[in-house]
Chain A
Amino acid sequence: AQKVTQAQTEISVVEKEDVTLDCVYETRDTTYYLFWYKQPPSGELVFLIRRNSFDEQNEISGRYSWNFQKSTSSFNFTITASQVVDSAVYFCALSEVGNTGKLIFGQGTTLQVKP
């Protein structure tokens, strides 16, 4: 069965600190997508990144970076030099290619960045 685990329920950091959000997944499929979404206090779900299971290269986008390790079934998200505007709930999700397209979400990690 597919499962996404975000063990960190809440994280609190002070502005400018680096923070890593953990995501561990389970799937029997060899082809799948992994996603991160951001849900700010306003409530919308904002797409951040999609990673194909065949592409294990790390990705950097500004202050955001993602570390995909198939060997440990992890897809961790790091924010460098965090800012107050990064405060949000972050969701990791898994979609199996060729499946119905169901996106399985983790429970989310609430990140609070204090000034």
Chain B
Amino acid sequence: DAGVIQSPRHEVTEMGQEVTLRCKPISGHNSLFWYRQTMMRGLELLIYFNNNVPIDDSGMPEDRFSAKMPNASFSTLKIQPSEPRDSAVYFCASSPRGGDLLLFGPGTRLTVL
């Protein structure tokens, strides 16, 4: 079975541009998580969906960040406008139910110049 799929794997953009990261969770998993990893802050949860509904978005840093899950097989994380401090690796993870078992995608390495 395919694991969590993320695209793109690498993204380089200029400050002020819009960035959209995509995630396809594992089929049958009801929960989806977006994490960000930086050297300074480590792994931090940005937002969590359960059955396509956002449950906890307290980790979303600012209004420039938004996330959607229009259906059970697709989610996006959008940054508009992007800033250099958004440079990080963004991971998507899915779980059969809540925090029972998070399986991570390969991550998207974002560089904002």
Contacts and interface: CB of A to CB of B under 8 A. Distances in A.
Contacts of B106: 43-44
- Could you say which interface size class chain B belongs to? 20 to 34
A101 B95 contact: yes
- Could you say which interface size class chain A belongs to? 20 to 34
A15 B33 CA distance: 36
A75 B96 CA distance: 23
Main secondary structure on B side of the interface with A: strand
Contacts of B45: 102-103
Contact of A47 (B55, B102, B109): B102
A101 B48 CA distance: 8
Nearest to B41: A107
B42 to A, nearest CB: 5
Given A45-B91, A47-B101, A97-B99, A105 B56 contact: no
B42 A103 contact: no
Interface string A58-95: 00000000000000000000000000000000010001
Interface in A30-44: 33, 35, 37, 43-44
Interface of A: 33, 35, 37, 43-47, 50, 91, 95-103, 105-108
